[in-house]
């Protein structure tokens, strides 16, 4: 027998690991899309898909089972009343994982996990485009300032070496 088989432990003991998964499930259900590491997203997908499937009947029993796993009434209500209804005819595969590449700080592979019918709100899409263009402008200014300081140092070095 294989007792206490866990797919990913995330370097945590049982209690903190369960709390992590609960928090991730609640965040995904509330927001529809979250950014996390690829490993956490793959583990989260298992839990969210099971929760959506068990919420499909919409009965009191289904709510109680979900409340036992995820003790947040708002999360369970949204799962049963909204998300499970949206995926009523779908036999599975309620989430998708979009890989983003490594995180700059520690090079951990990052990804978005979202429900398959998730759409970025229009005003948010415009906001993201504005942020990306501003980010590019700031990067260009920093690069220009850096080049200017490098040229200044090179000039100073040449002046000293000539003397």
DSSP string computed for 136-157:
HHHHHHHHHHHHHHHHHHHHHH
pLDDT in tens, 123-151: 776 767 777 788 888 888 888 888 888 89
pLDDT average, residue stretch 85-99: 94
Weakest mean pLDDT among 3-12, 75-84, 88-97:
3-12
- Say what the pTM is: 0.72
Question: Is beta strand 109-115 parallel, antiparallel or unpaired with respect to 95-102?
Answer: antiparallel
Query: What DSSP element (H or E) covers 33?
Result: strand 33-37
Give the Cβ contact number of residue 111 at 10 Å. 20
pLDDT in tens, 2-33: 887 777 888 899 999 999 999 999 999 999 99
Give the Cβ contact number of residue 70 at 10 Å. 19
């Amino acid at each position: 027998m294989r007792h206490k088989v866990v797919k990913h432990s995330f370097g945590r003991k049982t209690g903190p690991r369960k709390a992590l998964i609960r928090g991730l499930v609640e965040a995904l259900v509330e927001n529809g899309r979250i950014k996390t590491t690829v490993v956490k997203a793959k583990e989260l997908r298992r839990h969210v898909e099971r929760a959506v499937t068990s919420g499909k009947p919409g009965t009191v029993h289904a709510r109680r089972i979900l409340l036992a796993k995820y003790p947040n009434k708002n999360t369970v209500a949204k799962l049963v009343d909204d998300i499970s209804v949206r995926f009523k005819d779908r036999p599975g595969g309620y989430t998708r994982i979009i890989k983003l590449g490594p995180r700059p700080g520690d090079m951990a592979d990052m990804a978005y996990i979202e429900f398959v019918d998730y759409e970025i709100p229009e005003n948010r899409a415009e906001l993201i485009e504005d942020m990306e263009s501003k980010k590019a402008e700031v990067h260009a200014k920093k690069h220009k300032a850096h080049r200017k300081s490098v040229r200044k140092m090179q000039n100073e070095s040449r002046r000293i070496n000539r003397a």
